Chain A
């Protein structure tokens, strides 16, 4: 009787809680997540990045990544215009073609805009041939020009390669390396974290000492030391996986600790005790009860640890210890910017920095939103 009264009192006190009845945990999570605008924006931007770069980079890029426009070396970025020099409005965006002059003092090309002509940008044009996902041959590009005048929205590098195309192509490596690396450290981290938290005792002690030990290492010098040890004659694919393994070696420690904490708290819950008294085996409790309850937590930790991996890859490749050309990542693109003199001449080579920062920012926003949403009953 008394419990009924208390229940009534609580439900009338908290009318919002009433709506929660009958909704699943994930429905509640989604409802809360939807309200976080920063997280939604982060998620959408990342989705766009992954679609344009990981899946369809060749199609969204106007040129092939390695296409060298030898006549347009170190060309500055072009801005798409709608209104031409005479003040006429064009529905179709256009760019002004480059006018080149030789600067005989420095023997370098100087580019100016030729405003007497316009180069219209066409959509879905045929250009450099490529194979989509390595299987389907195609030559369709989202946008491009017809005729001899090229379009370089982000300029070109010192070999005359279109920077936009290279950023899109490089994003494929930079964006996936974080996912694969986090996947690996998730596997180790959650297995060891659950085992450590659930069994406790000696096992817990040993695993805790190992993770503490790993976490006491400074990640970047460690990564540098390990990456320098990768044989230089390895193929690109081997280097790619080598780097992801190196990045995840240190990453799993923190994850294991967090999951362990969660499991330690869950272990004392009554439903685990109930399951155990009904004779559930250890593996049944782990996979049937503990793991599903940790999933939301694992997702949050994973989202928040992807940026570290992306930055790790970028810094290693930037130093020439990670991904190496001809494979391209954002770090590789920035490596060309390591020489300050070149970048002062061509500051647009720093545009990849923007992509790195935006990606990391979006992952942080998304992860933060997910963290709040993963605990839908907490009142903010």
Chain B
């Protein structure tokens, strides 16, 4: 076997494994015939681990030693403690147990337990989460684990089997804990992900949470359990039971019109029970489904595609079986939402199909005993090219025997390539011909100069014709956070993977050889906001100072190259020209986890901003009611207090902040534009009529500068120049008698208001005399003397009225 063939859907709630065997894919069940494996583990007092249905059932009896939904914590440092055994497991260790259980199902498959498998991840997974998934696979004994985005896997399963469906469509993947939506296009058999979006903290679990909240409210209303706080360790078990019951009710409502939520024997004799029908469920989950449809419409808008242009919408994931979901999608997005393939297993099927085109690394291939010729073969296992090229090299023996030729024959016997002569360096190339739209199997053999066929490894390859997959795009931009809360992007969202980018950084301290500390330490972020703190910190770019070969002065340049491959594997390397030295592994993932207090502070800040932004209400995407609802949701999540809820609250606050940023930006733009229009008109009139030639030139320059600044969105520069125009206006005005007469009158009113007329009456008389005598030159002096007589705290105010640079 030379291809991976196994695909694993590692889900938040359920997982599955599938195998693509030649032309047919199959889902591999467990001994009980169950295809889906609940992503749950139960750690016994002995330390032994139960996975799947048994672990799921243990939630009812031993919830403290049972863990579910740990996928949502992948990439974080959060550990789950199992008190019975005292074991502590990280999310990747728990995921590894699930993968192990899935892999064990393959014991009876041809070729035995695999050491490589394609594992699916949500498209919106961040790099540390992908890294953690790979680690989990490694812990489970999977040595090679290309990662595949779930929507792509679904699209492959949708398009790649049977007839190839050309056109564009949306893949709506609502999993247990994550939501992804991808816009995919299939053209001439080439599957391409045009764009995608999603929410890493939105899934069926949140539907359950909505039901659970109803139950919690009822328990609180009953009062037997006091405040019934989730953070109360004594209530942990009760909360777990509520969660399980909520999921049961939601699933039951997929098949029935009405279901009963019932939990008895809670502590202190408390219990909860209520009936829920489909309308009730719809009411509870509507805001969540609307969040997903908003992302869908945003995605279409961004790509300038009308819903009518889509071929369809493919629904993936168990929660899409909730009856109201397809209807709501159809209504909001305007496209027919259908389950083309079983939404629970479509991802595993697609992963397996993809796996069947992925070649095993040489070290994992099972070598045939007694092979005389060992080849390294390079080709695309999935292609739309009817005449692909296969290139190879004879690895053993080296050098290859003279006169060696490689023969390739399609297994249907209708095509046999002319024998390819092996060059002295071992290389050879063969032009193949494929049977259209099917899996082509080729036998490989080597023929020596005497025409004798030699045993060859590998002796067969397979190429799927008629369908190929373009490389996936990066789901979220990757950058580094710089001073001033700015971000410098290495790779932008949508960059097709693999992608690589080099940027230059500068050291900020003198470094001595052998000293501790870090020569470079820059926080890495993922997200889309130009404000650093609105994105998620996923780790750091770092170079240990102790690795430097010699002293390095501050200001030295460091060239950092970050590459992300198609399975989101991230590699960072740095080169320091001053040292002529390379540094490997400069990326260290360390996803930030905010505390409740930090999230609370941010929420308060955003609430304040919202309050101060009433004027910008029109610029905000969401209505005040929606904002209130979101704030209430965040507060509820913070109240729940577990890591997942806090992460979700954090994400919601970030989203809210970004929306307010955008509104502020838009509002500011509109405000400045309006101010500018007014100011320009006034300045043109004033300086145009009364200004000196130099002032008119200055005005013309400033007008150009401001308009340029506005055009390029440099509002700070525009505002600064507008202030210059105001000063220019004042300068012109101050030469005009009317201005000073007006100012004197203004001062009189102010003096009257402050009861200073007695003190200043002589000056006003002088001013009046000067006006009468047309001695305007005296008035500025009089005004200044009057201003000087004002109390000091009033002086600035009345001076500001003339916007003078001189008090």
The reply to whether chain A is a binding partner of chain B is: no
List residues of chain B with CB under 8 Å of any chain A CB: none
List residues of chain A with CB under 8 Å of any chain B CB: none
